[in-house]
Structures are given as structure tokens and as C-alpha cells.
Amino acid sequence: ADGPGVALPPGPLAVQLDGVSFGYAQDAPVLRDVSVSLEPGRVLGVVGRTGSGKTTLTRLLLRFYDPLAGFVRLGGVDLRAVRLAAVRARIGLVTQEVHLFHASVRDNLTLFDDGVSDERISAVLETLGLSGWLRELPRGLDTPLLAGGAGLSAGQAQVLACARILLRDPDLVILDEPSSRLDPATDRLVHTALGRLLAGRTGIVVAHRLATLAYADDILVLEDGQVREHGPRL
């Protein structure tokens, strides 16, 4: 059910999970009594084996589900008290699968919002270090893309996803890192963009590679749905 409409505070959002347990079936818990706090503007790297609960944790933050026990809070506010649209307007999600439309690069970046100027798009690409990527496109922002991203490499799709999120200027960024390997040049481009996307924002990074943890201020290790370790990155 939608929340009654309690407002989230402005700026980067603190994240708190307090005694959270959750399972997609009542008798099959995926998260068990998880308690984690993240201060505004800090980045948490989440690691663990497949099935340890990493992606489930991010789904609870987006309120795709409510915990069976415990509380999930953003900015000190129980998510169940906030309207769903207000929660998701403040969160930028970059997933392993980037959904693209049969439309121009511009429309894929803005999600068909005519109110976003080309100057704004160019400024965001410059911030992310992606101006060169734009210049390489045969027709710039008018370059057509096919649905599903045919014709784009995995790295190029990730680059586009980062720019799409930064255009929304979220206060919490959740990144589920792609596990596929990229060529070295594209890998550097993507990692530069991700680092700049996270700057000045609260971030949750589900990491599959140690290199990605370079962005993290704190590390959370999940094992069988429980917190194995949690503390500052050394």
C-alpha cells in the first residue's frame, strides 16, 4: 500500500536497515535480522556470494517489497510512511540490464522528456567524462538506437545508464554492477563515469569485482542473508 505522504528530508539520504528480515516465501528467508546504517553522502559496497541477499536488499530500499520484520528508513523516515513516487524520485538505479528504446540517444537519455535541453545533456556528459563518447556517435544525440540496445556494447549501455541517472539528479544511487567483463578502455570510461555519478551522493554499490570497491567508504559482507562483516573500507 502507498504511504500517507511523509516527506523525505532534502539532500543526500541516510540509509538505515534495523533488524530487517525478508523472504519471497514465508518459510524461505533471504535476509535475516540485517541491521546496517549509512550516513548521508557515504558509499556502501555490498559483497557476497550469489543468493546472499545483495539484490534483495536494494529492492527493499526501492520499496518493491516491505520487510517481514524490522524497518527500512531513508533520511530517518520509515519508507512505509512515504509515497512510492516520492521514494523512487529520490533514488537512481543502475542495474546490470540497461533498458533501451527504439529511439534517439537523446530520447533514451531523457526518457522522452522534452523539457531536458541539449545543453543540460551535454553538461551531464561533460561531468561524467563522456563528451568523447558523444562525439564518437555518428549523429550525436540524434543517433538512433534499437530496442534492447542492439548495436551498443555492454560498456556503452552502462555509460548511457549513468548519464540517464545523473540527469535525474538523485540523492541516493544504487548500482548493481555488471558482472560481464568490458574491454580495458570502456572499463575505464565506465568506472570514471560511475565515480563521478556517486560524488556527493549516498550510494549503495553491489560489487562483483574488487576494483569497484574503490568507490566505497564502507563495506558490507552478506552471507546466507546475514551480516558477516560491516565496517569502513581499509
Query: Which set of grid coordinates corresponds to residue 68?
Result: 517481514
Query: One-letter amino acid identity for 226?
Result: Q
Q: What is the pLDDT of residue 190?
A: 82
How many CA atoms lie within 13 Å of 54's alpha carbon, on the beta-carbon side? 24
Q: What is the pLDDT of residue 179?
A: 56
Q: Which pLDDT tens digit goes with each residue over 147-186?
A: 776 667 777 888 888 899 999 999 999 998 765 667 787 7
Q: Which of 8-17, 31-40, 181-190 has the lowest mean pLDDT?
A: 181-190
Q: How large is the average pLDDT for residues 29-47? A: 96
Q: What is the pLDDT of residue 180?
A: 60
Give CA–CA dist 22/24, Å, rounded: 7
Q: Which pLDDT tens digit goes with each residue over 120-158?
A: 999 999 998 888 888 888 999 999 988 776 667 777 888
- CATH superfamily assigned to domain 15-232: P-loop containing nucleotide triphosphate hydrolases (3.40.50.300)
Q: Which pLDDT tens digit goes with each residue over 82-104?
A: 999 999 999 999 887 888 899 99
Nearest Cα to Cα of residue 215 among 223, 230, 227, 204: 204
Query: One-letter amino acid identity for 171?
Result: D
